[in-house]
Amino acid sequence: MTNSNITLHWFLPTYGDSRAIMAGGHGTTGHYGEREADLGYLTQLALAAESNGFESVLVPTGLWCEDAWIATAALIGATKRLGFLVAARPSLVSPTVIAQQAATFQKLSNGRLKLNVVIGGEDHEQRSFGDHRTKEERYAMGDEALEVIEHLLTRAEPITLHGKHIDVENAVLSRRPANAPEIFFGGSSPAGIEVAAKHAGVYLTWGERPADVQQKIERARTAAAAHGRELDYGIRLHIIARETEDEAWAEAQRLIDGLDPEVVAQIQGGLARSQSEGQRRMTALHGQGGAFHRGTDARDLEIAPNLWSGIGLVRGGAGTALVGSYEQVAERIGEYFDAGLGHFILSGYPHLEEAFHVGEGVVPALQRLGYGVKNRPAPTTPVKPAHVPFTTAEAALPAASAS
C-alpha cells in the first residue's frame, strides 16, 4: 500500500437520492428517489463531499443513471479540489475516444480525473447498448482496450494494435495529460482479477466480511506480482454512523422497515440470475433475502461486527453498510486499512446529510484512533467527540427536497 493515510471517497447518485434505500437490481432501470439528480442537487453533493475532505466522488454508469462524463464535467467549475472517479465501459466506446475524453477532462479539471473501468456484469444490459459480447469476451476486450488507453495517456509515439477485439492504427493524442488518471478496477471472477492485475492502480471490492476481503486482495496481489506489479486496494461500502450505536441501528431499522417483502423477493429473483460473481457474493450474504419479512430485526442482518447486509435486499451492486457509532465505524475502517485497504468509497441515504455524518463524526473518530486521513490535517489539539447537528446539511437542501 503506497498511501500511509486513509483515503475516503464519496458517491454521486446521478439517478436521484432518497431517505430510503434506493431500489434496483444489477443492470436494471429500477432505481428511483424523491430527490431528482438535477444540476443543483448534484452540485450540492459535490460541494458537501469537497468540504468534508473526500478525495473524489464515484460516478456510476448504466441505463439507470445519467451519463457519467457529462454529469461530472458539469461540476468541474463548481469545485476546486474534488476528484471525479468516472465510470467508463471499454466495450461500448473506442479506447482512443476514452483516452481523448480522459485527456480533455484532465486539462479542464487540472488533473482531477480518476477512471473506474466497468466491464459490464449483465449481457442483457450490454445488448441494450449494442454490445453482444459475452462477459468473457468483454474482459478480453477490456484488457486490449486498457493497453491502448494507457499507451495513449502516457507515451508520445502512436500505437497500432491488431487484437482480437481492438483494432487501431497509429492512434495518438494531440496532447497528453501531465498526469494520467489513476485506474480503479473491480472484479471478483478470475478474469476480472487478471485484468486488474495487469492494468489497475487500485483494485476494488464490495464490502464483504473482513476475512473474505483479505482472501480476495491476496488473490489480486498474487496475480499482480506475476506481472511485476503492485496494487493499491479499495472497498465500496455504505455508512450508517451516528453518535451512539443505538441511534445508528435505529436508522438501519427504519430503512428496512420501509421495504416491501414482495419487492425484495422480486428484486432478489432478478439478482439471482446475475452473471456477476461479485453480485453473487453480495446476495449470498443475506441468503438472497429469503428470511426477510415485515418486522425483521435489522440486527439479524449483521454478518460481522457492524457489517450489515440490509442494503443489498433491494440494491444491486454494493449491498453492505457499516452500522454503528462514529467510534465503532472508525474502528472497522481502521481494521480494513490495517489489512491493506487504503481507499474507502462510501455512501449513505441520503447522500447529502450522510456526507456530514462521515466528515464531522467518523473522520474525527479515526483521528482519535491515530489514523491519518487524506485531505484532513491532523488536529493540533485533541479531537473532541463529535456532535453532528444538521445545520450545515439541512441548510443546503433545496426547499422542494426538505420534506
> Residue 227 above 50 pLDDT?
yes
Residue ranges of the domains in the chain? 7-88+182-238+324-398
What's the whole-number mean pLDDT along residues 75-92? 95
- For 219-254, b/e burial (b = at least 16 CB within 10 A) is bbbebbeeeeeebbbbbbbbbbbbbebeebbebbbe
The predicted structure's pLDDT at residue 214: 94
How many angstroms separate the CA atoms of 353 and 389, rounded? 10
pLDDT at residue 31 greater than cutoff 80: no
pTM score of the predicted model = 0.91
| pLDDT (average), residues 93-102 | 96
As a whole-number percent, the residues of the chain with pLDDT over 90 amount to 70
Cβ-contact 270, 215 below 8 angstroms: no
Q: How far is CA 201 from the centre of its chain?
A: 15
**Per-residue confidence (pLDDT) for residue 135, from 0 to 100:** 83
d(CA 291, CA 261): 10
pLDDT digits (tens, 9 = 90+) for 297-331: 999 999 999 999 999 888 888 889 999 999 999 99
pLDDT tier at 266 (50, 70, 90 boundaries)?
confident
Q: Which residues pair with 8 in a beta bridge?
A: 344
pLDDT at 288: 77
Q: Grid coordinates in use for 214?
A: 483479505
Q: In whole angstroms, what is the distance from residue 170 CA to residue 83 CA?
A: 31
Better-predicted residue by pLDDT, 273 or 394: 273
Mean pLDDT across the stretch 106-111? Answer: 98
User: Per residue in 369-383, pLDDT tens?
Assistant: 999 999 999 887 655
**Average confidence score pLDDT of the chain:** 89
Instruction: Give the architecture (CATH level 2) of 7-88+182-238+324-398.
Output: Alpha-Beta Barrel (3.20)
pLDDT at residue 401 greater than cutoff 60:
no
- Residue keyed to cell 450505536: 245
Q: How confident is the model at residue 218 (pLDDT cuts 50, 70, 90)?
A: very high
Q: Is the pLDDT of residue 402 over 60?
A: no
